Amino acid sequence: MTNILVISGKPDLSELVSQTKGGAIVKNLVTGQKYPVFKNDRISSLGEIRLFTDSDERPLEEVMQAIYKHLDGKATAFEPKKADGKELADLLAAVLPDYDRERVHTSDMKKLFSWYNILAAAGA
């Protein structure tokens, strides 16, 4: 997951294609379009992101694998960006029962499941 990137201001996930002197070339996982990103863009690797639990933090990759196993590799049955908080929380509780209900917000869950759906569709 270190080559899968979240770029601030971009709605989808991107894959690192190559690095350049001033940044990188990435490929949008939804559209397949390649474009440059620069050092001043806010870029995070999915491998760096953690999810709060009651006792510590879990790497996003672990959480994504648990979702994948729970859903048998299929996308969620709902559109995460339009889902209500209870539906999102119920699915997250099914895959990560000890997630921190105070620090993991509905907006975080919407991103998590949207990213999961993008990765599932891309076969990543």
DSSP state letter for 46: G
| pLDDT by position in tens, the chain (length 124) | 679 999 988 888 999 999 999 899 999 999 999 999 998 999 999 999 999 999 999 999 999 999 999 999 999 999 999 999 999 999 999 999 999 999 999 999 999 999 999 999 887 6
The pair of structure tokens assigned to 49 is 């992101």
**Residue 67 CB contacts under 8 Å (≥ 6 apart), including other chains:** 91, 95, 112, 113, 116
Cα torsion angle, 70, 72, 73, 74, sign: negative
Q: Which domains does the chain have, with CATH numbers?
A: 4-45 (2.30.30), 49-122 (1.10.10.1650)
Q: What is d(CA 89, CA 49) in angstroms, rounded to the nearest whole number? A: 19
Count of beta carbons in the 10 Å neighbourhood of residue 12: 15
Q: Evaluate whether 60 touches 46 at the Cβ level (below 8 Å).
A: yes
Q: What is d(CA 19, CA 46) in angstroms, rounded to the nearest whole number? A: 17
Taking Cα atoms as reference points, which of 64, 57, 43, 42 lies closest to residue 118? 64
The pair of structure tokens assigned to 67 is 């979702």
pLDDT at 10: 84
When computed from its CA atoms, the radius of gyration of the chain, rounded to whole angstroms, is: 15
